[in-house]
C-alpha cells in the first residue's frame, strides 16, 4: 500500500505540474519563422489538454518545472553575457532517455513545435544550450535517480571501452577507467563537462594532434532525434546520423550514451613549460613536436602539446590555470616579457610514463633531455613538474576552485575560439597578439590565450565539425578572457571592450584574408552561419541532415542556426 501511495502521489505531482504549466504558457499567433527570438511576444506555446493526456498516458517519469528559479537557472550559462536570449518556459528533469523522447514526440505533434534543448553543465558562452520560450532538458537529472549514475557509467575491461551517459562528466569517465588501468585517448582541457556536450562540439586539447578530437574517438552513440526516435548508431549502423551528431552543435539529436574506446593508462606526467621570445620559434617547435617533419629528433617525444601567449601588462604570467611558477620565477618571466616588447610565448607539454605507458622514469628522463637540448626556447626559462596522470588532466580544476573562492568564476566570459591555417598563424600573431591585444590593454581582464597546432588527418571529415580549408596543419587559438562582475559600470565597460576586441580580431582576419573558422561558434543569424561558418558545400550537407533528423527545427534553437521548420 505504501508503494502504491507513493506511485499515486508521484503521478498526481506530475499531473499538477503539467496542469500549471498549461495554464501559464500562452498561445501566440506569431509566425514560426520569427517567434523564437522576439522579446515582445507572449509565451510561444501552450500544451493543450490533448498533449497533457498524451504525456500522462505515455508514462513520462519526469518532473516538469516552470517556476522562475528553475527556468532562470536552465537559461543561464558560463558566458554570463548581457545579451542573453529569452528564458526557457519550462525545464524537464528526465529520469530516463524515454522521457526526453516523449517530450520531443509531443513537440512534433504541435502545429507550432516548441523548442527543446539539452543542457549539461551549461558551459556555453552565448546561450547556445538555451531553449527560448521552450523546454530545457536538464541532462544531469539522468544520473541523479536511484541507481542512475552507477548504471549509466560502466567500463568493459575485455572490450576496452566505457559506456557513458551523455550527462556524465569526463572527470568521472577518467576515474572509472583508471580504476581498471585504462584511459580514453583524447580529452578536453577542462574535465568537468559532459560527454554529450563536448561530443556535440568536438572536444579538443593538447592530445588531439596525435589522437584527434574526442569526436574522432567514439565507437557508438545512443541518440534521440528531433523526431523523438531513439536510435543506436555507429559508423556501421545509421552512419549518417552518427556523423551528423558528432560536432553537430545539438542540431540533430540528443546524445544519451556514448561508447568511448580505452587504452592502457600511464601513471605519471612530466609537465613542461618552456618560454619563447617569438612566435616563429614557438610554432616551429610545436610543429616539429606534432610530427610535421617526422625526421626531427623531437618528433613524437611529447604526448601533449599546447602553447599560450603571455602579455606582460596583464600581470599574471602563471595564469589562473595553475600555480606552476614561484613568485621569483614569475618575476623573471615578467621581466623577460618587458625586455622583448611585452609579448612572450609559452610551450606547454607533457610526457607520460609509468603504468602501461611506453617507459619508466629513465625513459622519460632521456626524452626530456633530448627536448631540452633540441627545442629553441629561451635558455634558463624551462620549468618542469612531475605529477600524476590524473592530476595533469584535471589541472584546470585547481584554478577554477581558486577563482570560485575569490568570486571570479561566475563572471562574463566573452571567449573567442578560432581555427587558423598554418600558413597564416604568424600573420595572425603579428596583427593580434602584438597588435590588437598588446596595444589596447584591458585592465581587469584575465585568462589564458592559447595557441597550438593540430593535424587534419586525425579528424573525421564526415562529422559535422568545420575546419579551415585545405592545409594539413591548422592552429587553434583560444582567447579565453574573463571580465569582472558586470553589475558595476566598470564591469559593463570592460565587457563591452572585450567584445569589441573580439569583433576587431574577426575584422582583422577578414580584411587580411586569413580564413579563420570559429570553434564553439556563435553567429546572430542563419546568414552568418551559412556564409561565414559552413560555406556552400558544408552548409548544404548540414541542411540535408537537419531536414532528415529534425525537420521541424525543434532542437537547439539557442544556437540560432534554424529558427523555424524546414520546408
Task: Clarify whether 306 is annotated catalytic.
Answer: yes
Q: What is the DSSP letter of 389?
A: H
Q: Which residue has the cell 629528433?
A: 297
Q: What is the grid cell recorded at 16?
A: 499538477
Query: If residue 101 lies in a helix (H) or strand (E), which one and from where to where?
Result: helix 97-108
Q: 199-238 burial string, b = 16+ CB within 10 Å, else e?
A: bbbbbbbbbbbbbbbbbbbbbbbbbbbbbbebbebeeeeb
Q: What is the DSSP letter of 170?
A: H
Query: If residue 499 lies in a helix (H) or strand (E), which one and from where to where?
Result: helix 489-512
Contact yes or no for 97/143 (Cβ under 8 A):
no
Q: Are strands 263-264 and 182-183 parallel, antiparallel or unpaired?
A: antiparallel
Task: Clarify whether 123 is annotated catalytic.
Answer: yes
Distance CA 288, CA 484 (A): 38
Contact yes or no for 52/78 (Cβ under 8 A):
no
Contact yes or no for 463/199 (Cβ under 8 A):
no
CA distances from residue 309 to 292, 379, 437 in whole angstroms, order as listed? 22, 18, 10
Q: How many separate helices (H) and strands (E) can be counted in the chain?
A: 19, 19
Query: If residue 536 lies in a helix (H) or strand (E), which one and from where to where?
Result: helix 535-549
Catalytic hit among 306, 394, 530, 550: 306
CA distances from residue 483 to 400, 415, 452 in whole angstroms, order as listed? 15, 10, 24
Catalytic hit among 77, 98, 99, 123: 123
Angle at 84 (CA atoms; ends 556, 123), nearest 5 degrees:
60
Q: Are strands 135-138 and 90-94 parallel, antiparallel or unpaired?
A: parallel
Q: Cβ atoms within 10 A of the Cβ of 244, count?
A: 27
Q: What is the dihedral of CA 275, 414, 199, 538, to 10 degrees?
A: -100
CB proximity list for 111: less than 8 A, separation 6 or greater: none
Q: By C-alpha distance, which of 455, 418, 421 is closest to 213?
A: 455
Catalytic hit among 99, 172, 189, 303: 189
- Cβ-in-10-Å burial (0-12, 13-18, 19+) of 122 comes to buried
Q: Provide the β-strand partners of residue 455.
A: 473
In 1-84, where does DSSP find H-type helix? Answer: 2-24, 49-57, 68-75
Q: For the chain, what's the residue count? A: 567
Task: Clarify whether 189 is annotated catalytic.
Answer: yes
Q: Cβ atoms within 10 A of the Cβ of 511, count?
A: 9
Distance CA 233, CA 241 (A): 7
Q: From the centroid of its chain, how far is CA 191?
A: 10
Which residues have a catalytic role annotated?
123, 189, 306
Amino acid at each position: 500500500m505504501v508503494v502504491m501511495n507513493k506511485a499515486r502521489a508521484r503521478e498526481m505531482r506530475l499531473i499538477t505540474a503539467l496542469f500549471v504549466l498549461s495554464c501559464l504558457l500562452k498561445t501566440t499567433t506569431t509566425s514560426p519563422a520569427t517567434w523564437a527570438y522576439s522579446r515582445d511576444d507572449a509565451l510561444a506555446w501552450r500544451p493543450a489538454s490533448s498533449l497533457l493526456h498524451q504525456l500522462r498516458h505515455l508514462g513520462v517519469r519526469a518532473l516538469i518545472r516552470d517556476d522562475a528559479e528553475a527556468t532562470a537557472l536552465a537559461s543561464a550559462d558560463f558566458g554570463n553575457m548581457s545579451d542573453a536570449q529569452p528564458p526557457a518556459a519550462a525545464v524537464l528533469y528526465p529520469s530516463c532517455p524515454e522521457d526526453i523522447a516523449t517530450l520531443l514526440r509531443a513537440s512534433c505533434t504541435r502545429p507550432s513545435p516548441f523548442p527543446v534543448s539539452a543542457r549539461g553543465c551549461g558551459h556555453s558562452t552565448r546561450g547556445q544550450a538555451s531553449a527560448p520560450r521552450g523546454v530545457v532538458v536538464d541532462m544531469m537529472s539522468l544520473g541523479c535517480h536511484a541507481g542512475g549514475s552507477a548504471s549509466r557509467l560502466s567500463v568493459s575491461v575485455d572490450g576496452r571501452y566505457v559506456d557513458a551517459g551523455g550527462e556524465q562528466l569526463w572527470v568521472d569517465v577518467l576515474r572509472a577507467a583508471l580504476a581498471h588501468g585504462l584511459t580514453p585517448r583524447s580529452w578536453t582541457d577542462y574535465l568537468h563537462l559532459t560527454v554529450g556536450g563536448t561530443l556535440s562540439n568536438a572536444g579538443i586539447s593538447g592530445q588531439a594532434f596525435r589522437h584527434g578530437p574526442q569526436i574522432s574517438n567514439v565507437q557508438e552513440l545512443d541518440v534521440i532525434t528531433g523526431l523523438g526516435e531513439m536510435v543506436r548508431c555507429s559508423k556501421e549502423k545509421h552512419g549518417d546520423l552518427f556523423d551528423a551528431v558528432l560536432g553537430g552543435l545539438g542540431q540533430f539529436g540528443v546524445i544519451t550514451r556514448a561508447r568511448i574506446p580505452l587504452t592502457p593508462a600511464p601513471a605519471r606526467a612530466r609537465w613542461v613549460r618552456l618560454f619563447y621570445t617569438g612566435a616563429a620559434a614557438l610554432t616551429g617547435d610545436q610543429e616539429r613536436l606534432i610530427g610535421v617533419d617526422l625526421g626531427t629528433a623531437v618528433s613524437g617525444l611529447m604526448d601533449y602539446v599546447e602553447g599560450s601567449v603571455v602579455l606582460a601588462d596583464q600581470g599574471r604570467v602563471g595564469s589562473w590555470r595553475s600555480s606552476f611558477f614561484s613568485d621569483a620565477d614569475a618575476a623573471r618571466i615578467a621581466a623577460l616579457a618587458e625586455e622583448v616588447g611585452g609579448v612572450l610565448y609559452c610551450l606547454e607539454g607533457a610526457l607520460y610514463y609509468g603504468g602501461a605507458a611506453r617507459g619508466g622514469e629513465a625513459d622519460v628522463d632521456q626524452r626530456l633531455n633530448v627536448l631540452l637540448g633540441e627545442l629553441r626556447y629561451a635558455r634558463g626559462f624551462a620549468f618542469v613538474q612531475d605529477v600524476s596522470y590524473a592530476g595533469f588532466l584535471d589541472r584546470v580544476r585547481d584554478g577554477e576552485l581558486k577563482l570560485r573562492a575569490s568570486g571570479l568564476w561566475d563572471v562574463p566570459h566573452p571567449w573567442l575560439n578560432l581555427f587558423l591555417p598554418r600558413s597564416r598563424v604568424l600573420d595572425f600573431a603579428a596583427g593580434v597578439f602584438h597588435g590588437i591585444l598588446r596595444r589596447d590593454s584591458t585592465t581587469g581582464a584575465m585568462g589564458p590565450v592559447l595557441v597550438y597546432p593540430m593535424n587534419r588527418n586525425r579528424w573525421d571529415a564526415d562529422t559535422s565539425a568545420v575546419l579551415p580549408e585545405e592545409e594539413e596543419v591548422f592552429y587553434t587559438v583560444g582567447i579565453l578572457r574573463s571580465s569582472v562582475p558586470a553589475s558595476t559600470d566598470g564591469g559593463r565597460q570592460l565587457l563591452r571592450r572585450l567584445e569589441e576586441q573580439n569583433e576587431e580580431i574577426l575584422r582583422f582576419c577578414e580584411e587580411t584574408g586569413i580564413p579563420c573558422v570559429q570553434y564553439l561558434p556563435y553567429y546572430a543569424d542563419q546568414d552568418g552561419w551559412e556564409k561565414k561558418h559552413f560555406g556552400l558545400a558544408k552548409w548544404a550537407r548540414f541542411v540535408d541532415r537537419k531536414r532528415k533528423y529534425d525537420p521541424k527545427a525543434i532542437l537547439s534553437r539557442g544556437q540560432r542556426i534554424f529558427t523555424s521548420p524546414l520546408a
